[in-house]
Structure 1
Amino acid sequence: MWEVRAAVWRNRSARTRELSRWERLESPVGGVQGPALPSESAVHFVLDLALRIGEVQMSSGAGASDATATIIAVTNAYGMPHCEVDVIFTSITVACHRGVDLPPVTSLRVVRSRSLDYTRLALVERLVRDITLGRVTARDAHTELDRITNAPHPYPRWLATAAYAGMAAAISVLIGGDALVALFAAIITAVIDRIGRLLNKRALPFFFQQMVGGALATGCAVGIVASGVLPDSVRPTLMVAAAITVLLSGLSFVSTVQDAITGYNVTAAGRTVEVSLMTAGLIAGVVIALNLAVHLGLPSVPLAEPLPPSLVRLPLQTLAGAAAAALFALASYATPRAVVVAGVAGAAGAIGYSGLVLAGVGSIAASAAAATVIGFSGGVISRRLRIPPLVIAVAGMVPLLPGLTIYRALFELAVERSNSGLSTLMVATSIALALAAGVVLGEYLAQPVRYGLGRLERRISGPRLAGPLRPTKRRLE
């Protein structure tokens, strides 16, 4: 009898000691120290896991607020609720506060590479979901993250090139091109992508890669016009516009505006400089090719207005928008489910933009409204389908990027020597900003709908395009 009671007491004492590790302790000086934490090595282990997850998100184009919320959720899930996160564009710093008697533990990680692999982002999102629900230990999460980050792309590189080429063909049809224009746009874009791949292997800075891409897009179009293979009815301007849109698609417009709106001003400033520099490289390449054509006496690629909107072309534009968005998602290595949903978002954006233009709405307002619809629908649907909203938002807005407006501005500046090119360039910038801001606004409006129709959450943390919806506070026992 006494032996049974002693065994029960020992078990109860062991459980009490285990649970007391997470109870609030009193400091020797009379203040509250906070929850007891694991050893310093365990803290470093969890912080390294959280930082690597944040690095994958940042390199995939997620905003600073998304990475911050994800890191806080991961550290909370593993019993470290007092962590501060600082994201500054290319670096992530996490400090774990351990009370007034112990020094904090701080870790830093630099985001060195930026590449679009939406399958990797989706797998990391699933891992974060398992962590916050308590389904995986920190050591197993490290092993799974190693497997995700070291895995090759889910599709071969030639398939990504073919997807970019098909995307250019779809965009050329969207803005009024015929089958011949779509074919040449696809060929030009495929050449640009393969050459860019070779330049990237030689570590050429991305600014010069964009310059080469812009020069190739314009130069190839000039060569096609000079060869005389195109009939007079074909408008070669649309080839250049489609190729420019593909080159613009890899820039992080959405995350730049998201960081600015959510208060991460330093990160937003860094992204703004990056986007501006990459766009400047593209502009420089186009201008160089146009000036070279004028100097050599070659026929330039004349300006052409997009076909006026009409109800007859609306179904074709809808299909072209869906194809462009789906092919961009495929080129960015998205999962098959995400590719299908991205196509639906692209169709919604194309029909929304075309319908508003038909109703007499200006291009900037129509772009903002269509992007808001994309962000809203992506925010509501993607979470239920286990797809990061970032994938749907970016893919859906890509067909609406102002490639044709940018080329018109550069042609007016470089060939016609007209100051009206500056105002046209400002219109293109406004359209790009309206698209990004509309996507972020749509995601913000989708938050109360996700938590229940007609019921507004008391605390809305801001637009979220990646990571968990809110940090999860759970004690590890």
Structure 2
Amino acid sequence: MEVKTVWFAQRNRSARAHNPPRFVRERREDGHEANAVQGPALPDESTVHFVLDLAIRIGEVQMSSGAGASDATATIIAVANAYGLPHCEVDVIFTSITVTCHRGVDHPPITSLRVVRSRSLDYTRLALVERLVQDITRGEISVRDAHIELNKITTAPHPYPRWLATLAYAGMAGAIALLIGGDAAMAVFAGVITALVDRVGRLLNKRALPFFFQQVVGGALATTAALALVASNLLPEQTRPTLVVAAAITVLLSGLSVVSTVQDAITGYNVTAAGRTIEVSLMTAGLIAGVVLALNVSVGLGLPPQTLADPLTPSALRLPLQTLAGGAAAGCFALASYATRRAALVAAVAGAAGAGGYSALVLAGVGTIAASAVAATVIGFTGGLISRRLRIPPLVVAVSGMVPLLPGLTTYRALFELAVERTINGLPTLMIAASVALALAAGVVLGEYLAQPVRYGLGRLERRFAGPRMAGPLRPTRRRLD
């Protein structure tokens, strides 16, 4: 059968951006002519494999840094479109990413798969990858140069030494101790205990101990150290171990991907959200098991019983201190997660705004859950407005800013009531802690969503992938025609 190409129909003026299917005129055996679709004009097969590998590796970096599935999906499609692959399907299921490039009816699709194995917080790496994606979507870098740049980013060491991250975690614990009502002595003890927990966790991680057991060890070690210091009479009498342990628990809770879990659930990635939910639940269960184990052992050994610290009474006099402590905690967490200095500064501002707003709302008589949701929404909104202009991923500001508000003290109170006091009151308290965590994550996601129309308006990519964007480009940028 002789095939003769007569014309090409373009469905869109932006042929380079959308690369429409080609319509060709076929001359059949009976002498009549008919239209047939041959698919879009694509690069050669080796180039398609090269582009898919680049896009899927960028998505892997985003997922391993805590970005949501919608962010990774939109970024992969934007990168593929920038290099001439207009028809790609992306499937993200928490532990793997699959990308398929459709090449019309005459050629089989090309599929690439990559497993997301490691999940470590390195916000500098995430920021560098986002800048690379911006260069790609603007047409400022070739696919091979982008591969080389991505290899440099993923193989580069952390920007700060590991001991600095330990000091940052200690500073974060000390700031949280001040935030929830402790004094300077409690802040110092919370920092020392948290540094010890971090170093022990580092050793266990080198030996590939599963993270569940690392959480068990961390919770048990923090509780045991605080109770042992008080029982040995090495601390002042007014020192309350409840606040020290609560600060350490908050640090352990900060590493959980609560924000991305809620983001995936809201944006419709239910399988990924379910996987993240199981991970967060399992890590929290490990922390609970460690704390309860330490409390039960202390009771069995006959250590002096420790009373729970009373909830902090709202006071206008403590509002400036709480604001500063919240900013310090957020900034320290950003440094511990290897964020850039600019990102850490912005995160500190967001944390101060969130902590100050939360304290002011509680002082005005607003409930804990509602105050947490409103403060987190402010964090997401203001962080979303500022971070893009400063070329900082909104995820860094959102996660770091909400860290000071995590319910570490409420969680410890619930576990103490269940393990030591043996009362059923611990279950409602534990549900309150879970509700506060959910309110924080949902508020951050809502704030980022509200900030999008204010920044750029809703572009085509946002309408296609409904929901807030914490990483990656907000909308695809057309590649320049050379």
- TM-score category by the smaller chain? over 0.9
| Structure 1 gap segments, 5+ residues each | 1-18
Q: Which of 218, 224, 241 is the equivalent residue of 1:236?
A: 241
Q: Which of 197, 206, 214 is the equivalent residue of 1:201?
A: 206
How far apart, CA to CA, are the structure 1 residues paired with 2:44 and 2:111?
14
Q: Per the alignment, do residues 474 and 31 of structure 1 end up closer, same or farther by CA in structure 2, a change over 3 Å counting?
A: farther
Q: Does residue 123 of the first structure (1) align with residue 128 of the second (2)?
A: yes
- 8 A Cα contact 1:22 1:475, kept in partner: no
How far apart, CA to CA, are the structure 2 residues paired with 1:23 and 1:467?
25
Partner SS for 2:38? strand
Q: Per the alignment, do residues 388 and 45 of structure 1 end up closer, same or farther by CA in structure 2, a change over 3 Å counting?
A: same
- The answer for the alignment partner of 2:158 in structure 1 is 153
| Structure 2 gap segments, 5+ residues each | 1-15, 27-33
Q: Does residue 341 of the first structure (1) align with residue 338 of the second (2)?
A: no
- 8 A Cα contact 2:197 2:221, kept in partner: yes
Q: Per the alignment, do residues 80 and 421 of structure 1 end up closer, same or farther by CA in structure 2, a change over 3 Å counting?
A: same
Q: Which of 207, 216, 222 is the equivalent residue of 2:221?
A: 216
Q: Which of 63, 66, 86 is the equivalent residue of 1:58?
A: 63
1:392-428 C-alpha deviation (Å, 9 max, x unpaired): 0000000000000000000000000001100000000
1:171-196 C-alpha deviation (Å, 9 max, x unpaired): 00000000110010000000000000
- The answer for the alignment partner of 2:363 in structure 1 is 358
Q: Does residue 26 of the first structure (1) align with residue 31 of the second (2)?
A: no
- 8 A Cα contact 2:169 2:336, kept in partner: yes
- 8 A Cα contact 2:138 2:478, kept in partner: no
Within a 5 Å distance, the mapping from 1:350-429 to structure 2 comes to 350-429=355-434
How far apart are 1:473 and its partner, in Å? 5.0
How far apart, CA to CA, are the structure 2 residues paired with 1:61 and 1:321?
22
Worse-matched range after superposition: 230-239 or 88-97: 230-239
How far apart, CA to CA, are the structure 2 residues paired with 1:150 and 1:448?
36
How far apart are 1:232 and its partner, in Å? 2.6
How far apart are 1:236 and its partner, in Å? 1.5
**One-letter amino acid of the counterpart of residue 130, structure 1:** D
- Give the TM-score normalised by the residue count of structure 1: 0.93
- 8 A Cα contact 1:345 1:396, kept in partner: yes
How far apart are 1:306 and its partner, in Å? 3.2
How far apart, CA to CA, are the structure 2 residues paired with 1:171 and 1:66?
31
How far apart, CA to CA, are the structure 1 residues paired with 2:300 and 2:380?
45
Q: Does residue 294 of the first structure (1) align with residue 299 of the second (2)?
A: yes
1:420-477 C-alpha deviation (Å, 9 max, x unpaired): 100000000000000000000000100111026xxx7686431000000023454876
1:280-300 C-alpha deviation (Å, 9 max, x unpaired): 000000000000001110124
Q: Which of 320, 325, 334 is the equivalent residue of 2:330?
A: 325
- 8 A Cα contact 1:69 1:467, kept in partner: yes
How far apart are 1:26 and its partner, in Å? 2.4
**One-letter amino acid of the counterpart of residue 113, structure 2:** L
- The answer for the alignment partner of 1:11 in structure 2 is none
Aligned length: 456
1:221-261 C-alpha deviation (Å, 9 max, x unpaired): 11011011223322221000000000000000000000000
- The answer for the alignment partner of 1:443 in structure 2 is 448
**One-letter amino acid of the counterpart of residue 226, structure 2:** A
Q: Per the alignment, do residues 301 and 33 of structure 1 end up closer, same or farther by CA in structure 2, a change over 3 Å counting?
A: farther
How far apart are 1:34 and its partner, in Å? 3.0
Partner SS for 1:31? strand
- The answer for the alignment partner of 2:7 in structure 1 is none
How far apart, CA to CA, are the structure 2 residues paired with 1:373 and 1:419?
35
1:97-129 C-alpha deviation (Å, 9 max, x unpaired): 000110000000000000000000000000000
Partner SS for 2:112? strand
- 8 A Cα contact 1:219 1:289, kept in partner: yes
How far apart are 1:31 and its partner, in Å? 3.1
- 8 A Cα contact 2:51 2:143, kept in partner: yes
Q: Does residue 262 of the first structure (1) align with residue 267 of the second (2)?
A: yes
Q: Does residue 276 of the first structure (1) align with residue 281 of the second (2)?
A: yes
RMSD of equivalent CA atoms: 1.7
How far apart, CA to CA, are the structure 2 residues paired with 1:69 and 1:179?
46
- 8 A Cα contact 2:21 2:104, kept in partner: no
Percent identity of the aligned residues? Answer: 79
Within a 5 Å distance, the mapping from 1:142-181 to structure 2 comes to 142-181=147-186
How far apart, CA to CA, are the structure 2 residues paired with 1:171 and 1:119?
24
How far apart, CA to CA, are the structure 2 residues paired with 1:414 and 1:22?
63
